[in-house]
């Protein structure tokens, strides 16, 4: 079993490293799901900006009718596997207790045969969040199966999240690839503390013009119209640590 597990991991890594698109990345994920005993799977990536409406990308092999119904019904906003994954960071097992806050979603999922499932969350650079969900029609999850797959799921989700984040972020949030200089980061940190350009200049021992110059550079790099927006983006993307 140890050899087979290592062979599976090696094949997955090779597939992820050679992927040219998000769909190519998702193909080995579907294969890994089948290896673990699940016929359906999905991977969702959530980026923290724009703050008012974070960017989300979902790839899946669920029946198209189900995904259309899921989206039309606004189930993403009430899906407890997402909220629990984000709040706990732990493996979420599908059951009546998990879906007690979203009974309509649970009823509709089981109506089309999505009776058994689990979801593994992952956090990544800049506050990015990923969720790998696996499901099947029958064969309830036993405690032994959950324990058997727990480490594999953590490893798989982290690997997929890192690959998806690297590939999708430049398209979803172009400014996510920005790099700030040490001085720019320093100025943005003080700006996040509510300091004016004049106060930052006094703290750093530079001219107001110098501070303004660096702020303008940051606005351009982060595609922002003002320093407040730029500061929020810089923090959300992990470019500045407060």
Tens digit of pLDDT for each residue in 63-103? 999 999 999 999 999 999 999 999 999 999 999 999 999 99
Contact 140, 199 (CB under 8 A): no
| pLDDT value for 181 | 94
Please give the average per-residue pLDDT across 143-163, as a whole number: 90
| pLDDT value for 166 | 81
CATH topology of domain 178-236: Arc Repressor Mutant, subunit A (1.10.10)
Would the CATH topology of 2-172 be identical to that of 178-236? no
Q: Where are the domains of the chain?
A: 2-172, 178-236
CATH topology of domain 2-172: Beta-Lactamase (3.30.450)
| pLDDT value for 234 | 83
Positive or negative torsion for Cα 41, 133, 31, 143: negative
When pLDDT is cut at 50, 70 and 90, the band that residue 162 belongs to is confident
Phi-psi region of 206 (alpha: psi -120 to 50; beta: other; left: phi over 0): beta
When pLDDT is cut at 50, 70 and 90, the band that residue 1 belongs to is very low
């Amino acid at each position: 079993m140890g050899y087979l597990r290592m062979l599976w991991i090696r094949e997955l890594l090779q597939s992820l490293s050679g992927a040219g698109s998000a769909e190519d990345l998702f193909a080995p994920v579907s294969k890994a799901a089948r290896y673990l005993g699940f016929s359906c799977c999905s991977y969702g990536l959530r980026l923290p900006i724009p703050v008012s409406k974070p960017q989300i990308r979902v790839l899946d092999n669920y029946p198209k009718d189900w995904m259309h119904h899921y989206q039309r019904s606004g189930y993403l906003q009430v899906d407890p596997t997402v909220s629990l994954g984000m709040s706990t960071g732990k493996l979420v097992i599908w059951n009546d207790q998990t879906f007690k806050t979203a009974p309509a979603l649970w009823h509709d999922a089981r109506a089309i045969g999505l009776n058994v499932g689990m979801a593994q969350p992952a956090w990544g650079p800049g506050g990015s969040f990923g969720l790998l969900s696996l499901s099947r029609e029958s064969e309830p999850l036993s405690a032994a199966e959950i324990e058997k797959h727990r480490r594999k799921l953590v490893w798989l989700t982290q690997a997929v999240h890192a690959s998806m984040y690297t590939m999708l972020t430049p398209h979803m949030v172009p400014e996510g690839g920005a790099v700030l200089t040490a001085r720019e980061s320093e100025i943005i940190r003080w700006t996040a503390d509510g300091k004016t350009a004049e106060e930052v200049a006094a703290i750093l021992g530079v001219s107001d013009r110098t501070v303004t110059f660096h702020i303008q550079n940051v606005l351009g790099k982060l595609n922002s119209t003002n320093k407040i927006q730029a500061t929020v983006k810089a923090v959300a993307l992990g470019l500045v640590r407060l």
